[in-house]
Amino acid sequence: MDRDVAPTASKPYLMDFTYLFDPNQRDFEEFTRGMRFTEDEVYAEIGRPTDWTHRAAASLPPRSDEAAAKVAEQMLACSRWETSPWYVADADGGS
């Protein structure tokens, strides 16, 4: 089924990403250590690709060469930013 607007667009979901960095969060260990799942378990959670909805066409017009160059310039500037010490793990795997 193709559609231009997601059926949940009027009810945006606020994602909570604290499990990525907070060891006190319930999902932290699962996320950082990982878990094995069978293919059937994954598809039970997300559905089969044949059942997924897809957009008939790209939702955004392609960028002009000038716009693409500006994005590349901005990404280069971001890559030069210093990484926060709390984000960098030491050589022993600690943080």
8-state DSSP, 23: T
Task: Look at residue 12 in the predicted model and tell me its pLDDT.
Answer: 65
Kindly give, in sequence order, each residue whose CB lies less than 8 Å from that of residue 22, ignoring residues fewer than 6 positions away.
Answer: 28
User: What average pLDDT values come out for the chain (95 residues) when binned by 10 residues?
Assistant: 69 73 82 84 91 78 90 92 70 48
71: Cβ–Cβ under 8 A, 6 or more apart, which residues?
Answer: 63
Based on the number of CB atoms within 10 Å of its own CB, is 93 exposed (0-12), middle (13-18) or buried (19 or more)?
exposed
Q: What is the pTM of this model?
A: 0.32
Distance CA 84, CA 15 (A): 22
Which pLDDT does position 57 carry in this prediction? 74
26 touches 19 (CB < 8 A): yes
- pLDDT tens digit string along 9-33? 777 666 777 778 888 888 888 778 8
Which bin fits 28, alpha (ψ -120 to 50), beta or left (φ > 0)? alpha
- The amino acid sitting at 69 is A
